[in-house]
Amino acid sequence: MLENITVSPSPHISRPLSTRRVMIDVIIGLVPAVAAAGYYFRVYALILIPTCVISAVATEWLCNLIRKKPNSLGDFSAVVTGIILALSLPPGLPAWAAVIGSCFSIAIGKMVFGGLGANIFNPAMVGRTFLTACFGMLMTSWMVPATVDSTMPKIAPTEVSTKTIVDARTQATPLALSKQAIKSKSEAGVVNEQLEATFTGGIGGCLGETSALALLIGGIYLFVRRTINFHIPLAVLAAAFVFAAIGYAVNPQAYIWPMSHLTSGGMLLCAFFIATDPVTAPLTRKGMWIFGVGVGAITMLIRIVGEYPEGIMYAVLLMNAVTPLIDRFCRLVPAGGRPEEIKN
Amino acid sequence: MNYKLQTKAKFSESKTSLFSKRRREPSHPASVSFPGGTHPPGSKELTRESKIQPGPAGKQVAIMLSQHIGAICEPLVEKKQQVQAGQKIGDCDAFVSATVHSPVNGKVKEIALRSHAVLGRGPAVIIETEPENNPPKQPCSAKFTSDFNDDSYSAEQIRYAVRQAGIVGMGGAGFPTSVKVEPNPKAPKEAMIVNGCECEPYITCDYRIMLEWTNQIVAGVKLARKAAGCSEVFIGIEDNKPEAIEVMNTALKTSANSDGIKVVPVKTKYPQGGERQLIKAILKKDVPTGGIPPMIGVLVLNVATTAAIAEAVVTDWPLTHRVVTVTGEGIVNPGNYYVPIGTSVAELIEFCGGLREEAVRIILGGPMMGIAIADLTTPTTKTTGAVTVLTEKQIGGAKFAGIQTPCIRCGRCLEACPEHLNPTKIAHAVKNNLLDVAESYYISACMECGCCSYVCPANIELTGYIKTGKILLARQKKKIPQ
Ligand code: SF4
Ligand code: SF4
C-alpha cells in the first residue's frame, strides 16, 4: 500500500481552477458578442471568426513544433486571442487578411516572447496593428449590418442611416462620422442620433464592437465568475467618460455625447476583454487603476485630438509597454510594513 | 451571542459552488477578519462529531529531544534504564528550550535518530513498553469545574510549572511557552489572545477540546493570564464553530474571576489562525514585518496549550499526551484521539483501521501547511495536531491533470497572500536563482501558509519555491564570513 505514497511541498490541496478554466470563462464571456456579430453580419462573421481561431491555434501549434516545446494548446489562450482579434476586425475583411493577422498575433505577439505569460503586448492588438499598417484601406471599410437593409428597416435608426449611408455596402462608423464633425466643425447632432443604435448594435463597425449590450452581458458574466476584477474596466470607462464629458461640455456641437464614446468603437470590448488580459496588465490593484485610467485617457486623446477616429488599439499597446514600469512603482507593502522603514 | 447559531451550522460545510470561487460563508454578525486569505473547503465533517478517545497503547514510543524551537535537550536517561510515566528524560539549561518527558512506563531501548517533520532528523529516546503496564491515560478535564479559582497560584509558581512541564506552543510552531509568558519589562504584555480558530481544513482537535475540556481551557487561560501579567484576554474562534463559541461563552459566564476574558468570533477564512492574522483581526494591529507579537505587547496561545498549562499547574503532570486528529479520506476510521506524544504515525494509522487502498499522501498536520511524510516511523510530537491521509481525489484537482501553465500574471496570489507579498515575483526570482530580488520582495516575511499555491490557476508551486528560496538564503548567509 505504501508504494502509492507520494510527497510534495505543502499545500496538498488546490483550488479546482486552472488556466484553462480561466480561458474557457473568457470564451464563454465572449459568446454574446460573437452571437451579436453573427446576427448583424451573418456570413461575414461566420467566415471571419472561425478563420481567426483556426489560424491562431494552428500558428501556436506550429511555433511549438518549431521550437520543440511541449504542446500548449490545452490552455486555450490561442482561441481567446483568435476570437478577440476577429471581433476587432471589420466584417468585410477578406479571410486571407484575417489569417495573416492571426498568424502575426500568435507568432510575433506571443510566441517570440516565449509563449503564454511572457508576452508584453496583447497578441490580438499586435495582430490588428499589423493589419492596419499593411491593409489600411481594408481595415477601415465598414459594412452595414445585415439587419439594416430595406427588408428590415425597423431595427436600425431608419432615417438617419439612410441619410448617412454613402455606399450600398459600406458605411462610416459613428466614430468616423464624429471625427469628420470635429474636423469640419460641423454639427455632431446627426451622429448623436445614430449612436443610439450602438447599444443594441445595428450599426457599422467591427464585428464585435457593434453591440454594447452583448459585451455588457459577457462582462457581467466575467465579474460573476470572478475571472476579472472590476478595477481595470471601471478605470477605463470612467477615464474615457470624463474625457468625453469634458469635450462635450466644451463644445456640444462638435463633440458627441459622452455615453456614446463608451458604447462605440470597441470601448466595451476593450474594457472587459482586451485591457483585462492578465498577462499584459499590471499585477497589483493600484497598478490596475493606473493602467485602466491610462487606456481610457489615451483612447480619448486619440479620438478627440488625434488623427484616428478610434484609439483603443494604440492605447492598449502603449499601456502594455509601460506595464513593467507600473508594476515596479506599485510594489506592495507587506502587512507589517516595510522592514527597512521599521528599523529607522 | 447565540443568535442565529443554528442556521449557520448548516451552511458551514457547504462545498464550493459553481458561481463563486470564494465560498459564501455565512458570517457571524460580529465576526472580524484580516485582508487577504482564501477559503479552502473545511472538510471537518469527517471528525467534528467524534469525541476524544484514548489512543493506541503502543509497544514503542520515540520522544524527540527537540520538539520545539530552541536548544536541543540532553538525554537524562541511558539505554536499558527503566522510566516511569511523567519522568523527565531530557532537559537543557538554555533559556529558549523545553524539557521532554516519558509518557509511558517502560524501558529505554536506545537513543536513535528519528525524522521530525520540520526540523529534519534528530535524536530521540526510544522507549519500549508493555501495554499491560500502561493503561491509557485519562484526560484530566474532569478535575476542572466552573468554580476554578486561580487565586491559590502565584505567577512565579505558574511559570515554574510551565517550564518544568515542557509546554510548547501546540498549534504548530512549538515555541517554548515558558519563554512566551515570561514578563519582559521592556515590552509589557497588554493583551493575550487565545487561538481557537483552527482554520486548517480537516483538523478538529482544538474544536473537540473546546467542547469537551471547556473548564480546563478556561482555567488554563486564567493561569496563563496571571503568569504573563496581562488583563485583557480574547479567545478567537472561527464562526464555523458556533457550538464552541457558545460553550466557551457559557463557561466564562459561570466562571469566577473571568472579567476581561472575552470570546471573539472571527471569520472563517484561511489562515485566520495565523498569529499575525488573528492579531490583525481582533486587535486591528499589525505585527511589524520580521517582528514577533511581543513587540506590540501581545501574547498568543493556542487553546491546546492553555489546557496543557492548566494540567501542569493544577495536577503537576507534564505535557506527555495530546489530542491528535487522525483524518482524511484515505483513513478507515477517522477520529480524535488522546495519544502519548512519541507514538509513531504507523501505529496511529494502524489504530485507526489502516490506510484505504486509494491513500496517496500522509501529512503531519493539515493539507495547507502540513508536511508530507514517507517515513511512517516518524513520531508524533508536541506540535502534531493531526495526521491527514488524502487520496488522489483531494490532491488531484488540476495539479494531477497536468494542466500546469506558465504564470498568467492574474494576480490571484497577490490577492490571497495574507502578508501582502508578491508570491509570483518571489517564486520566479527563486526559480531563476535571483535571491537578492527575492529578498527585495520580502521573501522572509512569508509565513508559508500556502494560500498562493492554493489559488494559483497555473498550478505553480509558489509556496514550494519560496520555502526553497528561504533555505538557499539561509545557507548563503552561513557561508559568507562575517
Ligand atoms: S507568499 Fe507566503 S504568506 Fe503569502 S500566500 Fe504565499 S505562502 Fe502565504
Ligand atoms: S496566481 Fe499563479 S498565475 Fe496568477 S499571478 Fe500568481 S503565480 Fe501567476
The domain ranges of chain B are 54-130+320-395, 140-315, 404-476
Chain A residues near residue B363 by CB distance under 8 angstroms: 10, 12
Distance of CA A107 to the CA centre of its chain: 19
Query: Which position has the higher pLDDT, A330 or A174?
Result: A330
* Residue-averaged pLDDT of chain A: 82
Query: Mean pLDDT: which of A75-89, A134-148, B170-184 is highest?
Result: A75-89
Least confident of A163-167, A220-224, B163-167: A163-167
List pLDDT tens digits, range A253-308. Answer: 767 777 777 877 688 999 999 999 999 999 999 999 999 999 999 998 888 887 77
Query: Which position has the higher pLDDT, A158 or B213?
Result: B213
Q: What is the pLDDT of residue B476?
A: 87
- Average pLDDT on B42-69 reads 88
Residues, chain B: 482
Point out which residues pair with B74 in neighbouring strands. B91
Q: What is the pLDDT of residue A265?
A: 67
**Atom 7 of ligand 1 has which residue's CA nearest to it?**
B448
Checking if the pLDDT of B396 tops 90, the result is no
List pLDDT tens digits, range A76-119. Answer: 999 999 999 999 998 888 999 999 999 999 999 999 998 898 99
Checking if the pLDDT of B400 tops 60, the result is no
Least confident of A26-35, A216-225, A307-316, B195-204: A307-316
Closest ligand, as measured to the CA of B410: 2
- Tell me, yes or no, if B436 comes closer than 8 A to chain A by beta carbon: no
Instruction: Please identify, in words, the CATH class of the domain defined by B140-315.
Output: alpha beta
**Residue B423 in contact with ligand 1 by CB distance below 6 A:** yes
**Core vs surface per residue A159-197: b (16+ CB within 10 A) or e:** ebbeebbeeeeebbbbbbbbbebbeeeeebebbbbbbbb
**Residue B466 in contact with ligand 1 by CB distance below 6 A:** yes
Checking if the pLDDT of A158 tops 50, the result is no
Q: What is the pLDDT of residue A171?
A: 54
Name the residue among B408, B422, B455 with its Cβ closest to that of A19: B408
Checking if the pLDDT of B355 tops 60, the result is yes
- Average pLDDT on B144-161 reads 87
Cα–Cα–Cα angle for B161, B167, B168, nearest 5°?
145
**C-alpha cell at position A336:** 507589517
Q: What is the pLDDT of residue B30?
A: 65
**C-alpha cell at position A157:** 435608426
**What is the chain B residue with the closest CA to A335?**
B419
Q: What is the pLDDT of residue B7?
A: 32
Peptide bond into B41 cis (omega under 30): no
Q: How far is CA B224 from CA A23, A66, B171, B227, in A?
A: 53, 67, 16, 5
B450, A11: Cβ pair inside 8 Å? yes
Q: What is the pLDDT of residue A8?
A: 83
Count chain A–chain B contacts defined by CB atoms under 8 A: 200
**Residue B417 in contact with ligand 1 by CB distance below 6 A:** yes
Residue from B451, B456, B468 whose mutation best tests the ligand 1 pocket (most atoms within 8 A of CB) = B451
State whether residue B68 is helix, strand or coil. Answer: coil
**Atom 6 of ligand 1 has which residue's CA nearest to it?**
B452
B372, A7: Cβ pair inside 8 Å? yes
CB B44 within 8 Å of CB B242: no
- Average pLDDT on B167-184 reads 87
Query: Mean pLDDT: which of A137-151, B105-119, B236-250 is highest?
Result: B236-250
Q: How many CB atoms lie within 10 A of CB B420?
A: 20
Checking if the pLDDT of B384 tops 70, the result is yes
**Residue B448 in contact with ligand 1 by CB distance below 6 A:** yes
Give residue B38's identity as a one-letter amino acid code.
T
- Average pLDDT on B184-207 reads 91
**Residue B416 in contact with ligand 2 by CB distance below 6 A:** no
Instruction: Please identify, in words, the CATH class of the domain defined by B404-476.
Output: mainly alpha
B397, A14: Cβ pair inside 8 Å? yes
**Residue B447 in contact with ligand 1 by CB distance below 6 A:** yes
Q: How confident is the model at residue B401 (pLDDT cuts 50, 70, 90)?
A: low
Q: Domain B54-130+320-395 falls in which CATH fold? A: Ubiquitin-like (UB roll) (3.10.20)
Q: Give the span between the Cα atoms of A306 and A290, in whole angstroms.
A: 22
List pLDDT tens digits, range B263-282. Answer: 999 999 999 999 999 999 99
Question: Beta strands of B345-454 (E only): which ranges?
Answer: 359-364, 371-373, 386-391
Find cell 481594408 and name the residue.
Answer: A138
Name the residue among A10, A19, A342 with its Cβ closest to that of B369: A10
- Average pLDDT on B102-107 reads 91
- Tell me, yes or no, if B459 comes closer than 8 A to chain A by beta carbon: yes
- Average pLDDT on A56-68 reads 93
Find cell 489569417 and name the residue.
Answer: A99
What ipTM goes with this model? 0.84
Q: What is the pLDDT of residue B263?
A: 94
Among the listed residues B300, B231, B242, B230, the one whose alpha carbon sits nearest the alpha carbon of residue B266: B242
Q: What is the pLDDT of residue B67?
A: 84
**End-to-end CA gap in chain B:** 57
Q: Give the span between the Cα atoms of B224 and B231, in whole angstroms.
A: 10
* A283 CA → ligand 2 middle, Å: 9
Q: What is the pLDDT of residue A182?
A: 61
- Average pLDDT on A235-249 reads 90
**Residue B471 in contact with ligand 2 by CB distance below 6 A:** no
Q: How confident is the model at residue B5 (pLDDT cuts 50, 70, 90)?
A: very low
**What is the chain A residue with the closest CA to B19?**
A225
% residues pLDDT > 90 (chain A): 43
B374, A335: Cβ pair inside 8 Å? no
Checking if the pLDDT of A203 tops 70, the result is no
Checking if the pLDDT of B306 tops 80, the result is yes
**Residue B364 in contact with ligand 1 by CB distance below 6 A:** no
**Chain B stretch 193-222, residues whose beta carbon is closer than 8 A to a beta carbon of chain A:** 201
Checking if the pLDDT of B108 tops 90, the result is yes
Q: What is the pLDDT of residue A146?
A: 59
* Element housing B310 (H / E): helix B303-310
**Core vs surface per residue B324-352: b (16+ CB within 10 A) or e:** bbbbbbbbeebbbbbbbbbbbbbbbbebb
**Atom 7 of ligand 2 has which residue's CA nearest to it?**
B424
Q: How confident is the model at residue A194 (pLDDT cuts 50, 70, 90)?
A: low
Question: Model's pTM, two decimal places?
Answer: 0.87
Q: How confident is the model at residue A147 (pLDDT cuts 50, 70, 90)?
A: low
Give residue A231's identity as a one-letter amino acid code.
H
- Average pLDDT on B161-189 reads 88
Question: Beta strands of B320-358 (E only): which ranges?
Answer: 321-327, 335-340
Least confident of A44-58, B181-195, B421-435: B181-195
Residues, chain A: 344
Chain B residues near residue A10 by CB distance under 8 angstroms: 363, 365, 367-372, 448, 450, 453, 463-464
B397, A284: Cβ pair inside 8 Å? no
B456, A14: Cβ pair inside 8 Å? yes
Q: What is the pLDDT of residue B152?
A: 86
Burial of B145 (0-12, 13-18, 19+ CB in 10 A): exposed
